[in-house]
Protein backbone atom coordinates (compact mmCIF):
# COMPACT_ATOMS: atom_id res chain seq x y z
CA UNK A 1 0.00 0.00 0.00
CA UNK A 2 1.40 3.35 -0.97
CA UNK A 3 -1.56 5.45 -0.10
CA UNK A 4 -0.83 8.67 1.75
CA UNK A 5 -3.96 8.97 3.85
CA UNK A 6 -3.47 6.43 6.63
CA UNK A 7 -0.48 4.65 8.09
CA UNK A 8 0.00 1.25 6.50
CA UNK A 9 0.36 -0.49 9.83
CA UNK A 10 -2.88 1.00 11.15
CA UNK A 11 -4.71 0.05 7.98
CA UNK A 12 -3.40 -3.54 8.12
CA UNK A 13 -4.67 -3.81 11.68
CA UNK A 14 -8.06 -2.45 10.66
CA UNK A 15 -8.36 -4.92 7.81
CA UNK A 16 -7.58 -7.78 10.18
CA UNK A 17 -9.79 -6.69 13.06
CA UNK A 18 -12.84 -5.20 11.32
CA UNK A 19 -13.24 -6.12 7.68
CA UNK A 20 -16.77 -4.64 7.57
CA UNK A 21 -15.57 -1.13 8.33
CA UNK A 22 -12.38 -1.62 6.32
CA UNK A 23 -14.41 -2.58 3.25
CA UNK A 24 -16.75 0.37 3.69
CA UNK A 25 -13.70 2.64 3.87
CA UNK A 26 -12.30 1.17 0.66
CA UNK A 27 -15.66 1.58 -1.09
CA UNK A 28 -15.88 5.19 0.07
CA UNK A 29 -12.42 5.91 -1.33
CA UNK A 30 -13.57 4.57 -4.68
CA UNK A 31 -16.83 6.56 -4.51
CA UNK A 32 -14.96 9.78 -3.77
CA UNK A 33 -12.30 9.10 -6.42
CA UNK A 34 -14.60 8.07 -9.26
CA UNK A 35 -17.33 10.67 -8.79
CA UNK A 36 -17.45 14.44 -9.06
CA UNK A 37 -18.30 16.03 -5.73
CA UNK A 38 -20.42 19.14 -6.12
CA UNK A 39 -22.00 19.52 -2.69
CA UNK A 40 -20.92 23.12 -2.02
CA UNK A 41 -20.18 22.55 1.66
CA UNK A 42 -17.75 19.73 0.90
CA UNK A 43 -14.20 19.67 -0.31
CA UNK A 44 -11.17 17.38 -0.10
CA UNK A 45 -8.92 18.10 2.85
CA UNK A 46 -5.17 18.49 2.44
CA UNK A 47 -3.33 15.14 2.73
CA UNK A 48 -1.48 16.52 5.78
CA UNK A 49 -4.85 16.71 7.55
CA UNK A 50 -5.28 12.92 7.34
CA UNK A 51 -1.87 12.46 8.93
CA UNK A 52 -2.84 14.58 11.94
CA UNK A 53 -6.38 13.26 12.32
CA UNK A 54 -4.93 9.77 12.53
CA UNK A 55 -2.26 10.83 15.03
CA UNK A 56 -1.54 10.37 18.75
CA UNK A 57 -2.99 13.83 19.45
CA UNK A 58 -6.29 11.94 19.42
CA UNK A 59 -5.31 10.44 22.77
CA UNK A 60 -4.79 13.62 24.75
CA UNK A 61 -7.17 15.40 27.09
CA UNK A 62 -6.49 19.13 27.25
CA UNK A 63 -9.35 20.93 29.01
CA UNK A 64 -8.54 24.60 29.33
CA UNK A 65 -6.44 26.79 27.07
CA UNK A 66 -2.67 26.96 26.35
CA UNK A 67 -0.81 27.71 29.59
CA UNK A 68 -3.94 27.03 31.72
CA UNK A 69 -4.92 23.38 31.48
CA UNK A 70 -6.50 21.04 33.98
CA UNK A 71 -4.22 18.07 33.18
CA UNK A 72 -0.47 17.63 32.78
CA UNK A 73 1.53 16.66 29.71
CA UNK A 74 0.51 19.66 27.63
CA UNK A 75 3.79 20.87 26.12
CA UNK A 76 2.86 19.72 22.61
CA UNK A 77 -0.87 20.43 22.76
CA UNK A 78 -0.13 23.96 23.99
CA UNK A 79 2.28 24.42 21.09
CA UNK A 80 -0.20 23.33 18.41
CA UNK A 81 -3.17 25.23 19.84
CA UNK A 82 -1.08 28.41 20.09
CA UNK A 83 0.03 27.94 16.48
CA UNK A 84 -3.56 27.37 15.36
CA UNK A 85 -4.85 30.46 17.19
CA UNK A 86 -2.05 32.72 15.94
CA UNK A 87 -2.39 31.49 12.38
CA UNK A 88 -6.18 31.92 12.46
CA UNK A 89 -5.77 35.52 13.65
CA UNK A 90 -3.23 36.17 10.93
CA UNK A 91 -5.19 34.54 8.10
CA UNK A 92 -8.47 36.29 8.97
CA UNK A 93 -7.07 39.58 10.37
CA UNK A 94 -8.81 38.92 13.70
CA UNK A 95 -8.05 40.21 17.18
CA UNK A 96 -8.88 36.90 18.85
CA UNK A 97 -9.43 33.28 17.79
CA UNK A 98 -10.88 30.24 19.51
CA UNK A 99 -10.11 27.00 17.65
CA UNK A 100 -11.81 24.54 20.00
CA UNK A 101 -15.42 24.33 18.68
CA UNK A 102 -16.08 20.74 17.68
CA UNK A 103 -18.17 21.72 14.68
CA UNK A 104 -20.46 24.34 13.17
CA UNK A 105 -23.62 24.24 15.28
CA UNK A 106 -21.69 24.10 18.59
CA UNK A 107 -19.55 26.97 17.35
CA UNK A 108 -22.55 29.23 16.70
CA UNK A 109 -24.31 28.19 19.89
CA UNK A 110 -21.20 29.13 21.87
CA UNK A 111 -21.38 32.63 20.37
CA UNK A 112 -25.07 33.05 21.27
CA UNK A 113 -24.45 32.04 24.87
CA UNK A 114 -21.33 34.21 25.10
CA UNK A 115 -22.97 37.43 23.94
CA UNK A 116 -26.68 37.09 24.81
CA UNK A 117 -29.17 36.25 27.54
CA UNK A 118 -31.98 33.68 27.10
CA UNK A 119 -34.95 35.39 25.45
CA UNK A 120 -32.85 37.92 23.53
CA UNK A 121 -33.78 38.54 19.89
CA UNK A 122 -31.51 37.27 17.08
CA UNK A 123 -32.09 38.33 13.47
CA UNK A 124 -30.87 35.81 10.88
CA UNK A 125 -31.64 34.60 7.38
CA UNK A 126 -34.64 32.31 6.90
CA UNK A 127 -33.50 28.75 6.17
CA UNK A 128 -36.08 28.36 3.40
CA UNK A 129 -34.47 31.35 1.66
CA UNK A 130 -30.88 30.14 2.04
CA UNK A 131 -30.17 30.52 5.77
CA UNK A 132 -28.70 27.84 8.04
CA UNK A 133 -30.21 25.53 10.64
CA UNK A 134 -28.02 26.97 13.40
CA UNK A 135 -29.32 30.50 12.79
CA UNK A 136 -32.55 29.74 14.62
CA UNK A 137 -34.61 27.17 12.78
CA UNK A 138 -37.65 26.16 14.87
CA UNK A 139 -36.52 22.51 15.05
CA UNK A 140 -33.29 23.41 16.90
CA UNK A 141 -32.76 23.54 20.66
CA UNK A 142 -31.59 27.15 20.39
CA UNK A 143 -35.07 28.10 19.23
CA UNK A 144 -36.27 27.24 22.75
CA UNK A 145 -33.71 29.61 24.28
CA UNK A 146 -33.58 32.71 22.06
CA UNK A 147 -36.21 34.60 20.09
CA UNK A 148 -35.34 34.37 16.43
CA UNK A 149 -36.66 36.68 13.74
CA UNK A 150 -35.81 36.32 10.07
CA UNK A 151 -35.06 38.19 6.91
CA UNK A 152 -35.78 36.70 3.52
CA UNK A 153 -34.78 37.14 -0.10
CA UNK A 154 -36.97 38.88 -2.65
CA UNK A 155 -39.07 37.12 -5.27
CA UNK A 156 -38.29 36.84 -8.17
CA UNK A 157 -34.78 38.37 -7.90
CA UNK A 158 -33.69 36.01 -5.12
CA UNK A 159 -31.65 38.86 -3.60
CA UNK A 160 -31.64 40.38 -0.09
CA UNK A 161 -33.32 43.81 0.12
CA UNK A 162 -31.31 45.63 2.76
CA UNK A 163 -34.02 48.21 3.42
CA UNK A 164 -36.40 45.37 4.36
CA UNK A 165 -33.78 43.91 6.70
CA UNK A 166 -33.47 47.38 8.27
CA UNK A 167 -37.24 47.65 8.78
CA UNK A 168 -37.35 44.22 10.51
CA UNK A 169 -34.42 45.26 12.70
CA UNK A 170 -36.09 48.54 13.65
CA UNK A 171 -39.31 46.70 14.53
CA UNK A 172 -37.83 43.76 16.43
CA UNK A 173 -34.74 45.34 18.06
CA UNK A 174 -32.39 42.33 17.81
CA UNK A 175 -29.39 42.05 20.16
CA UNK A 176 -27.52 40.14 17.46
CA UNK A 177 -27.74 40.22 13.66
CA UNK A 178 -26.32 37.31 11.64
CA UNK A 179 -25.03 37.43 8.08
CA UNK A 180 -24.58 33.94 6.77
CA UNK A 181 -26.17 31.26 4.69
CA UNK A 182 -25.93 27.78 3.33
CA UNK A 183 -27.39 28.46 -0.12
CA UNK A 184 -27.24 32.13 -1.10
CA UNK A 185 -25.15 32.49 -4.26
CA UNK A 186 -24.29 36.14 -3.66
CA UNK A 187 -21.87 38.26 -1.63
CA UNK A 188 -23.32 39.99 1.43
CA UNK A 189 -23.33 43.76 1.77
CA UNK A 190 -21.34 43.63 5.01
CA UNK A 191 -21.01 47.41 5.25
CA UNK A 192 -24.80 47.76 4.89
CA UNK A 193 -25.49 45.13 7.57
CA UNK A 194 -22.95 46.77 9.88
CA UNK A 195 -24.80 50.09 9.49
CA UNK A 196 -28.14 48.49 10.42
CA UNK A 197 -26.57 46.87 13.48
CA UNK A 198 -25.19 50.25 14.56
CA UNK A 199 -28.56 51.93 14.03
CA UNK A 200 -30.43 49.45 16.26
CA UNK A 201 -27.60 48.89 18.75
CA UNK A 202 -27.10 45.22 17.87
CA UNK A 203 -23.95 43.13 17.78
CA UNK A 204 -23.13 41.79 14.34
CA UNK A 205 -21.82 38.37 13.44
CA UNK A 206 -21.02 36.62 10.15
CA UNK A 207 -21.12 32.85 9.81
CA UNK A 208 -18.91 32.31 6.75
CA UNK A 209 -18.66 28.54 7.08
CA UNK A 210 -19.15 27.92 3.37
CA UNK A 211 -16.76 30.66 2.33
CA UNK A 212 -14.03 30.43 4.98
CA UNK A 213 -11.45 29.19 2.47
CA UNK A 214 -12.41 31.78 -0.11
CA UNK A 215 -12.00 34.58 2.43
CA UNK A 216 -8.72 33.12 3.66
CA UNK A 217 -7.49 32.97 0.06
CA UNK A 218 -8.51 36.58 -0.59
CA UNK A 219 -11.18 35.75 -3.19
CA UNK A 220 -14.16 37.04 -1.17
CA UNK A 221 -14.66 39.92 1.25
CA UNK A 222 -13.78 39.47 4.91
CA UNK A 223 -16.58 40.66 7.29
CA UNK A 224 -13.97 41.42 9.96
CA UNK A 225 -12.65 44.18 7.68
CA UNK A 226 -16.08 45.81 8.13
CA UNK A 227 -15.87 45.90 11.92
CA UNK A 228 -17.94 42.79 12.64
CA UNK A 229 -17.94 41.70 16.29
CA UNK A 230 -17.68 38.00 15.52
CA UNK A 231 -17.02 35.75 12.54
CA UNK A 232 -17.43 31.98 12.64
CA UNK A 233 -16.34 29.39 10.13
CA UNK A 234 -16.23 25.65 9.96
CA UNK A 235 -12.89 24.30 8.82
CA UNK A 236 -13.80 21.32 6.66
CA UNK A 237 -15.57 23.06 3.79
CA UNK A 238 -13.76 25.38 1.35
CA UNK A 239 -10.96 25.72 3.93
CA UNK A 240 -9.93 22.08 3.27
CA UNK A 241 -9.14 21.24 6.88
CA UNK A 242 -10.43 18.78 9.47
CA UNK A 243 -14.04 18.91 10.65
CA UNK A 244 -14.31 21.64 13.26
CA UNK A 245 -15.02 25.32 13.84
CA UNK A 246 -13.20 28.57 14.56
CA UNK A 247 -14.64 31.63 16.28
CA UNK A 248 -12.90 34.92 15.46
CA UNK A 249 -13.83 38.04 17.38
CA UNK A 250 -12.89 41.45 18.68
CA UNK A 251 -10.73 41.48 21.79
CA UNK A 252 -13.60 42.83 23.90
CA UNK A 253 -15.53 39.54 23.33
CA UNK A 254 -12.55 37.21 23.76
CA UNK A 255 -13.03 36.25 27.37
CA UNK A 256 -16.81 35.66 27.03
CA UNK A 257 -16.30 33.56 23.88
CA UNK A 258 -13.55 31.43 25.43
CA UNK A 259 -15.61 30.77 28.57
CA UNK A 260 -18.65 29.95 26.50
CA UNK A 261 -16.77 27.33 24.44
CA UNK A 262 -15.02 25.82 27.48
CA UNK A 263 -16.37 25.11 30.02
CA UNK A 264 -19.74 26.45 28.80
CA UNK A 265 -20.36 24.14 25.85
CA UNK A 266 -17.62 21.53 25.69
CA UNK A 267 -15.17 19.48 27.70
CA UNK A 268 -11.88 18.28 26.24
CA UNK A 269 -10.95 19.86 22.90
CA UNK A 270 -10.16 17.48 20.04
CA UNK A 271 -6.44 18.05 19.83
CA UNK A 272 -5.94 15.93 16.69
CA UNK A 273 -8.46 18.24 14.99
CA UNK A 274 -6.70 21.35 16.30
CA UNK A 275 -3.30 20.05 15.11
CA UNK A 276 -4.79 19.56 11.64
CA UNK A 277 -6.34 23.04 11.77
CA UNK A 278 -2.94 24.53 12.57
CA UNK A 279 -1.40 22.94 9.49
CA UNK A 280 -4.37 23.82 7.29
CA UNK A 281 -4.01 27.46 8.38
CA UNK A 282 -0.33 27.41 7.42
CA UNK A 283 -1.19 26.01 3.99
CA UNK A 284 -3.91 28.68 3.64
CA UNK A 285 -1.19 31.34 3.55
CA UNK A 286 0.51 30.01 0.41
CA UNK A 287 0.26 31.32 -3.15
CA UNK A 288 -1.15 27.94 -4.24
CA UNK A 289 -4.02 28.44 -1.84
CA UNK A 290 -4.77 31.92 -3.19
CA UNK A 291 -4.82 30.43 -6.68
CA UNK A 292 -7.21 27.67 -5.49
CA UNK A 293 -9.59 30.22 -3.92
CA UNK A 294 -9.65 32.34 -7.09
CA UNK A 295 -10.17 29.24 -9.25
CA UNK A 296 -13.17 28.14 -7.15
CA UNK A 297 -14.91 31.39 -8.12
CA UNK A 298 -13.82 31.22 -11.77
CA UNK A 299 -15.08 27.66 -12.00
CA UNK A 300 -18.43 28.66 -10.49
CA UNK A 301 -18.76 31.47 -13.05
CA UNK A 302 -17.93 29.19 -15.98
CA UNK A 303 -20.35 26.54 -14.75
CA UNK A 304 -23.08 29.16 -14.27
CA UNK A 305 -22.63 30.62 -17.76
CA UNK A 306 -22.65 27.23 -19.46
CA UNK A 307 -25.77 26.12 -17.56
CA UNK A 308 -27.58 29.40 -18.28
CA UNK A 309 -26.73 29.05 -21.96
CA UNK A 310 -28.28 25.58 -21.84
CA UNK A 311 -31.58 26.87 -20.45
CA UNK A 312 -31.09 26.34 -16.69
CA UNK A 313 -32.92 28.75 -14.37
CA UNK A 314 -30.41 29.90 -11.77
CA UNK A 315 -31.76 31.42 -8.56
CA UNK A 316 -30.54 35.07 -8.55
CA UNK A 317 -29.58 34.61 -12.21
CA UNK A 318 -26.00 33.58 -11.45
CA UNK A 319 -23.42 33.44 -8.68
CA UNK A 320 -20.83 35.63 -6.99
CA UNK A 321 -19.40 32.92 -4.79
CA UNK A 322 -18.76 29.18 -5.01
CA UNK A 323 -22.36 27.94 -5.17
CA UNK A 324 -25.29 27.75 -7.54
CA UNK A 325 -28.97 26.94 -7.07
CA UNK A 326 -31.03 25.83 -10.06
CA UNK A 327 -34.81 25.79 -10.20
CA UNK A 328 -35.17 22.41 -11.92
CA UNK A 329 -38.97 22.55 -11.72
CA UNK A 330 -39.29 25.57 -14.01
CA UNK A 331 -36.19 24.90 -16.12
CA UNK A 332 -36.56 21.18 -16.74
CA UNK A 333 -39.96 20.16 -15.37
CA UNK A 334 -38.50 17.91 -12.65
CA UNK A 335 -38.20 18.28 -8.88
CA UNK A 336 -34.81 18.43 -7.18
CA UNK A 337 -34.99 14.89 -5.78
CA UNK A 338 -35.35 13.45 -9.27
CA UNK A 339 -32.48 15.60 -10.52
CA UNK A 340 -30.30 14.57 -7.55
CA UNK A 341 -30.90 10.85 -8.15
CA UNK A 342 -30.33 11.00 -11.90
CA UNK A 343 -27.11 12.99 -11.46
CA UNK A 344 -25.96 10.53 -8.81
CA UNK A 345 -26.27 7.78 -11.41
CA UNK A 346 -23.73 9.53 -13.63
CA UNK A 347 -21.32 10.09 -10.71
CA UNK A 348 -22.20 13.70 -9.95
CA UNK A 349 -23.06 14.28 -6.29
CA UNK A 350 -25.08 17.32 -5.25
CA UNK A 351 -28.16 17.96 -3.16
CA UNK A 352 -31.82 18.68 -3.73
CA UNK A 353 -32.66 22.08 -2.28
CA UNK A 354 -35.62 24.32 -1.63
CA UNK A 355 -35.79 27.54 -3.60
CA UNK A 356 -37.11 30.76 -2.00
CA UNK A 357 -40.86 30.42 -1.32
CA UNK A 358 -40.75 26.88 -2.66
CA UNK A 359 -44.25 25.54 -3.39
CA UNK A 360 -42.87 22.00 -2.94
CA UNK A 361 -41.86 20.22 0.30
CA UNK A 362 -38.18 19.89 1.39
CA UNK A 363 -37.88 16.21 0.41
CA UNK A 364 -39.30 16.96 -3.05
CA UNK A 365 -38.16 20.55 -3.52
CA UNK A 366 -38.00 22.58 -6.70
CA UNK A 367 -34.25 22.88 -6.96
CA UNK A 368 -30.72 21.59 -6.60
CA UNK A 369 -27.71 23.22 -4.94
CA UNK A 370 -24.10 22.65 -5.94
CA UNK A 371 -20.68 24.30 -5.93
CA UNK A 372 -17.08 24.10 -7.02
CA UNK A 373 -14.68 23.80 -4.00
CA UNK A 374 -14.21 20.01 -4.16
CA UNK A 375 -13.78 19.74 -7.93
CA UNK A 376 -11.35 22.69 -7.84
CA UNK A 377 -9.27 21.17 -5.07
CA UNK A 378 -8.61 18.13 -7.27
CA UNK A 379 -7.40 20.44 -10.05
CA UNK A 380 -10.42 20.76 -12.35
CA UNK A 381 -10.58 24.02 -14.29
CA UNK A 382 -12.68 25.89 -16.83
CA UNK A 383 -12.58 23.16 -19.49
CA UNK A 384 -13.86 20.57 -17.03
CA UNK A 385 -16.61 22.95 -15.84
CA UNK A 386 -17.88 23.30 -19.42
CA UNK A 387 -17.81 19.53 -19.85
CA UNK A 388 -19.56 19.11 -16.51
CA UNK A 389 -22.30 21.59 -17.46
CA UNK A 390 -22.83 19.72 -20.68
CA UNK A 391 -23.22 16.41 -18.84
CA UNK A 392 -25.55 17.97 -16.27
CA UNK A 393 -27.77 19.51 -18.93
CA UNK A 394 -28.12 16.17 -20.73
CA UNK A 395 -29.12 14.49 -17.46
CA UNK A 396 -31.59 17.22 -16.47
CA UNK A 397 -33.27 17.04 -19.87
CA UNK A 398 -33.58 13.23 -19.82
CA UNK A 399 -33.33 11.98 -16.21
CA UNK A 400 -35.03 8.65 -17.02
CA UNK A 401 -32.92 7.72 -20.05
CA UNK A 402 -30.89 4.90 -18.49
CA UNK A 403 -28.78 4.26 -21.59
CA UNK A 404 -27.77 7.91 -21.71
CA UNK A 405 -27.02 7.92 -17.98
CA UNK A 406 -24.79 4.84 -18.35
CA UNK A 407 -22.87 6.49 -21.20
CA UNK A 408 -22.44 9.72 -19.20
CA UNK A 409 -21.26 7.71 -16.18
CA UNK A 410 -18.30 6.54 -18.25
CA UNK A 411 -17.57 10.13 -19.26
CA UNK A 412 -17.45 11.34 -15.64
CA UNK A 413 -15.33 8.34 -14.62
CA UNK A 414 -12.80 9.14 -17.35
CA UNK A 415 -12.74 12.77 -16.25
CA UNK A 416 -12.16 11.78 -12.62
CA UNK A 417 -9.24 9.52 -13.55
CA UNK A 418 -7.40 12.60 -14.81
CA UNK A 419 -7.82 14.39 -11.46
CA UNK A 420 -6.94 12.20 -8.47
CA UNK A 421 -8.42 13.17 -5.12
CA UNK A 422 -5.69 14.77 -2.95
CA UNK A 423 -4.34 12.17 -0.55
CA UNK A 424 -5.94 9.10 -2.08
CA UNK A 425 -4.17 9.18 -5.41
CA UNK A 426 -3.01 5.58 -5.13
CA UNK A 427 -5.79 4.23 -2.97
CA UNK A 428 -7.71 1.96 -5.26
CA UNK A 429 -4.83 0.65 -7.35
CA UNK A 430 -2.62 0.11 -4.33
CA UNK A 431 -5.11 -2.10 -2.55
CA UNK A 432 -6.22 -4.28 -5.42
N1 LIG B 1 -24.49 20.92 5.98
C2 LIG B 1 -23.87 22.16 5.59
C3 LIG B 1 -24.33 22.62 4.25
O4 LIG B 1 -24.46 21.77 3.41
O5 LIG B 1 -24.54 23.78 4.00
C6 LIG B 1 -23.95 23.23 6.58
O7 LIG B 1 -23.90 22.79 7.87
Q: Are 304 and 322 in contact (CB under 8 A)?
A: no
Question: pLDDT digits over 196-253, tens only?
Answer: 999 999 999 999 999 999 999 999 999 999 999 999 999 999 999 999 999 999 999 9
Give the pLDDT score at 2: 40
**What are the boundaries of each domain within the chain?**
56-283, 295-430
- Asked if residue 104 has its Cβ within 6 Å of ligand 1, the reply is yes
- Asked if residue 245 has its Cβ within 6 Å of ligand 1, the reply is no
Atom of ligand 1 nearest to the CA of 40: 4
Using 50, 70 and 90 to split pLDDT, how confident is the model at 4?
low
Residue 48 and residue 45: Cα distance in Å, rounded?
8
Query: What does the pLDDT average to over 124-144?
Result: 93
Q: How far, in Å, is the centroid of ligand 1 from the Cα of 41?
A: 5
Q: Which of 42, 48, 207, 384 is catalytic?
A: 207
Class at the top of the CATH hierarchy for domain 56-283? alpha beta
Q: Does the fold of domain 295-430 match that of domain 56-283?
A: no
Q: Is the pLDDT of residue 260 over 70?
A: yes
Question: Mapping DSSP to helix (H, G, I), strand (E, B) and coil, where does residue 397 land?
Answer: helix
Q: Which of 234, 319, 335, 376 is catalytic?
A: 234
Question: pLDDT digits over 374-390, tens only?
Answer: 999 999 999 999 999 99
Q: Is the pLDDT of residue 88 over 60?
A: yes
The CATH T-level fold of domain 295-430 is 3.90.1150
Residue 119 and residue 147: Cα distance in Å, rounded?
6
Mention every residue, 6+ apart, whose C-beta is less than 8 A from residue 49.
Answer: 240, 241, 242, 276, 279, 280, 423
Give the pLDDT score at 7: 75
- Is 63 catalytic? The answer is yes
- Asked if residue 140 has its Cβ within 6 Å of ligand 1, the reply is no
Give the pLDDT score at 430: 42
| Closest residue to atom 5 of ligand 1, CA basis | 182
- Asked if residue 182 has its Cβ within 6 Å of ligand 1, the reply is yes
Using 50, 70 and 90 to split pLDDT, how confident is the model at 22?
very high
Amino acid sequence: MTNFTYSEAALDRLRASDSDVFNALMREEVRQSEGIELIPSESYCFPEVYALLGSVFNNKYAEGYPGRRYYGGQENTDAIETLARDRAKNVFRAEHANVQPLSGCAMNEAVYFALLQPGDVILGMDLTHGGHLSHGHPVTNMFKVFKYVRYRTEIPSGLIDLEKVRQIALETKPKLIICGHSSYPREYDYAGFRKIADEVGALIMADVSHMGGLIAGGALKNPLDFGFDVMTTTTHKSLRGPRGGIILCKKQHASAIDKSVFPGMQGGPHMHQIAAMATMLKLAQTDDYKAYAAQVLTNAQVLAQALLAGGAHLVTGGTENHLLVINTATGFGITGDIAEKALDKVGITLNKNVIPDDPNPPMKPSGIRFGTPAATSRGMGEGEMKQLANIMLQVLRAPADEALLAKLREETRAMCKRFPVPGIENGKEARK
